[in-house]
Structure 1
Amino acid sequence: MIRVIIADDHTVVRNGLRHILERTSDFEVVGEAARGTEVPQLVRELSPHVILLDLSMPGRNGLELIRQLRTDHPALRILVLTMHAEEQYVVRAFRAGAAGYLTKESAATELVEALRKVAAGGTYVSPAMAEKLALGLQEKPDAPHEGLSDRELEVFRRIVDGESLTQIAAALCVSAKTVSTYKMRLMEKLQLRSDAALVRYAIEARLFGDEDKL
């Protein structure tokens, strides 16, 4: 039996994933987490084989959490399940130590296959995403945003989504001053001077997948 923890801040999503897994005979959902800060202790207590991990939970940056989990529990297999289908998130997740990457819109049809492959020691990325990733990696020059840290990228995304520094600070469980520092650093790295310029950069680079909403 493959022991699974589901980590996602949306109750509806967790219930849906649990329902999918409970219809199979080889998975046991042993725990759930709604905040990134809950995950390390839950993993220590429950010793799962695989964790289904959302990248955007409150309290901890998902990429940082992957690194910590891989350091503390080398045998743990991590399958990222997220709304982010953009290339930079896929690449960063695998570099951090994820064994698989799946978008939430693909979960209904690909989740069981992905979990089985990851639990067996393999890696998983959907065919559509693999093609997109391969095309994006074909000898392109390094873009300025590739030099951002994981936390700077997260702050960048939230600024583009229209969140205030106070809202970002609350979501990341840090002070507004700390968020301001991250913002200053990312603007220096991108050589931009305003929020409008950040939004324009995100649209032109197609960074966060929501350009049509901006």
Structure 2
Amino acid sequence: MKILLADDHGMVRQGIKMLLKETYPSAEIIEANSATALQDLIADDTLDIVITDLQMPGPLVIDVIKKIRADGSKVPIIVLTMSAIQQSAVRVIRAGANAYITKDNAPEELIKAVQYVLTKRRYITPEMTELLADAYVGGSDKLPHENFSEREFQVFQLFAKGKHISDIGTELALSINTISTYKARIMTKLDVKSNSDIIKYAYAHGLV
């Protein structure tokens, strides 16, 4: 089996590799340490499965997933992330991922998810089933944050964690002016006036 493992933290990759090797000792594991590397390597049509973090330097991982699906690739993709944010989970599955797992649950869930998605199925937990049902049945009753673009939602999450514009710009490799523009859009869509309002909204809706 040929596995592409993408995470920008080396120790995390080592832990996941050890977990995978216990079940698949002969697997070839290729590593990527950024979304840019993921984007370059994911087009390899000899891959059997992709396991990737959601938040990494470079392009949005969710956009990488969308592009590879638009190009016709059927390679199973598991998103393994620190984020338990419900909105992220729904967006990832809609983009074309086969599974969404939090790193807290990785030891119990990852191998099970790998086994499922290798048969071209989606690995959906009961919690995810409920989230997806709510997302599709919700109709026009969308909450303001559900109208964010992928990048707006990413910037929103970082503001909700109390990060400053310069820190967000550094983390996402974007200029301060670009982050300021995203912030203005976010505040308009949420109808809020300050950073503290963004944080309050995020906590009120379970988005951090």
Work out whether the TM-score is over 0.5.
Answer: yes
Matches of 1:116 and 1:179 in 2, distance apart?
40
Q: Is the 8 A contact 1:6 1:29 kept in 2?
A: no
Query: Displaced runs of 4+ in structure 1, greater than 4 A?
Result: 131-140
Identify the residue that residue 4 of structure 1 maps to in structure 2. 3
SS of the residue aligned with 2:23? coil
Q: Is the 8 A contact 2:155 2:168 kept in 1?
A: yes
Question: In the alignment, what sits opposite 2:201?
Answer: 201
CA distance, structure 2, for counterparts of residue 89 and residue 144 of structure 1: 15
Residue identity opposite 1:142 in structure 2: K
CA deviations on 1:23-62 (whole Å, 9 max, x unpaired) are 1237624311111111121223573121111111122222
Separation of aligned partners in 1, 2:43 and 2:144: 38
Higher alpha-carbon deviation: 124-133 or 89-98: 124-133
> CA 1:114/1:179 → structure 2, altered by over 3 Å: closer, same or farther?
same
Taking the aligned partners of 2:202 and 2:37, their CA distance within structure 1 comes to 31
Partners of 1:21 and 1:29 within 8 A in 2: no
CA distance 1:22–1:74, shift in 2 (3 Å): same
* Correspondence 1:66 to 2:33: no
How far does the alpha carbon of each residue in 1:73-111 deviate from its partner, in whole angstroms, 9 at most, with x for none? 512221110112222111100111111111111110111
Distance of 2:45 and 2:147 partners within structure 1: 36
- In structure 2, runs of 5+ residues without a counterpart are none
The alignment-based identity, stated in percent, is: 35
On the 8 A contact 2:4/2:50 being kept in 1, the answer is yes
Q: Is the Cα contact below 8 Å between 1:80 and 1:101 reproduced in 2?
A: yes
Q: Counterpart in 1 of 2:173?
A: 173
Q: Describe the SS at the equivalent of 1:125.
A: coil
Q: Which residue of 2 aligns with 1:20?
A: 19
Is the CA contact 2:169–2:179 (under 8 Å) kept in the aligned structure 1? yes
1:184 aligns with: 184
For the aligned residue pairs, the C-alpha RMSD in angstroms reads: 2.1
Alignment partner, residue 101 of structure 1: 100
The change in CA–CA distance for 1:43 and 1:135 in structure 2 (over 3 A counts) is closer
Given that 2:17 and 2:29 are in contact with CA atoms closer than 8 Å, whether structure 1 keeps it comes out as: no
Contact 2:90 2:131 in 1 (8 A): no
Residue in structure 2 matched with residue 112 of structure 1 by the alignment: 111
Aligned residue pairs total 207
Q: CA deviation at 1:180?
A: 1.0
